[in-house]
Structures are given as structure tokens and as C-alpha cells.
């Protein structure tokens, strides 16, 4: 899309931390009212919807010149993504904690956490090839599903 690694680092590091912390706390409070199962569905849906921000950003095409407007757009999309991540993580960690046996909590949480990371790591290493083949717009469209 035309963003340099420095642009991405600046925006991600300045927006992702606070968005994920605040949304994780909000997700914990909301989960108390919703329950873990409903929160998993709702927050998972929020994560899918936030991918739409990347579709919106990719719709602008390749940026030849990155100005503050493009950085703000990227910042909004990244903040929205990390709000979804914070909400989803709060519900997912609560779900894993609920499903563990009290006698083996540490072992089972470590195992569940490791297993939950496998799909993103396995599929993530292929994403560059997919983007190269179909472009960012279609890639993010497929990522919603």
C-alpha cells in the first residue's frame, strides 16, 4: 500500500498498546454481563468487522506519497483492529481458564495458548505470497472469512 516499515512501526506502536489494554479491560467488564459464550461470539464478530478497516484502507490503492492523512487512516484502522484483539483476547483467556482442570491449570493454559497460536503462525507465513498473488483488497476480503 506504500507504507514504509518506519511508518507502520510508528503508527502500530503508538496506537496498539493503549487500544488493546483499554479494550481488554472493557471486554472483561462486558463479559461479566454477557457471559463467556456470548462474549466469544460477539467479540469474534467485532474482530471480523475490524478487518473491514483494512479493506477500506486498501480501497485507496497504493500511496505514492505518505502524508499525515494516510498515517491517520492507518492509525484508525490499527486502533480498531487492536480494540477487536483486546476484546477477543479477554473472552478467549476467560474461556480457556474456565475449561482447565484446577489441578493442571498452568500446564493446560500453556498448552491451550500454544495451540491457539498455531493457525496464525502457520497461515501468517503464507500471507505475503497470497497478497502478491491477489492484492491487498482481495486478501483482506478473504481474511474476513
Q: How far apart are CA 89 and CA 113, in angstroms?
A: 11
Q: Which residues contact 77 (CB under 8 A, 6 or more apart)?
A: 50, 53, 54, 56, 57
Q: What mean pLDDT value characterizes the chain?
A: 90
Q: Please, are residues 76 and 50 in contact by the beta-carbon 8 Å criterion?
A: no
Structure-block grid coordinates of residue 113: 495458548
Q: Percent of the chain, pLDDT > 90? A: 59
The answer to whether residue 145 scores a pLDDT higher than 80 is no
Q: How far apart are CA 105 and CA 12, in angstroms?
A: 33
Structure-block grid coordinates of residue 29: 467488564
Which domains does the chain show, CATH number per domain?
Answer: 5-143 (1.20.1250.20)
Amino acid at each position: 500500500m506504500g507504507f514504509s516499515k518506519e511508518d507502520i512501526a510508528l503508527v502500530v506502536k503508538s496506537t496498539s498498546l493503549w487500544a488493546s489494554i483499554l479494550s481488554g479491560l472493557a471486554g472483561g467488564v462486558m463479559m461479566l454481563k454477557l457471559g463467556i459464550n456470548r462474549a466469544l461470539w460477539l467479540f469474534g464478530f467485532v474482530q471480523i468487522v475490524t478487518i473491514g478497516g483494512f479493506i477500506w484502507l486498501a480501497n485507496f490503492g497504493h500511496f505514492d506519497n505518505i502524508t499525515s492523512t494516510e498515517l491517520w487512516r492507518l492509525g484508525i484502522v490499527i486502533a480498531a483492529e487492536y480494540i477487536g484483539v483486546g476484546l477477543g483476547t479477554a473472552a478467549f483467556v476467560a474461556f480457556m481458564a474456565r475449561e482447565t482442570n484446577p489441578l493442571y491449570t498452568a500446564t493446560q493454559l500453556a498448552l491451550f495458548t500454544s495451540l491457539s497460536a498455531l493457525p496464525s503462525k502457520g497461515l501468517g507465513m503464507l500471507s505475503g505470497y497470497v497478497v502478491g498473488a491477489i492484492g491487498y483488497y482481495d486478501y483482506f476480503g478473504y481474511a474476513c472469512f
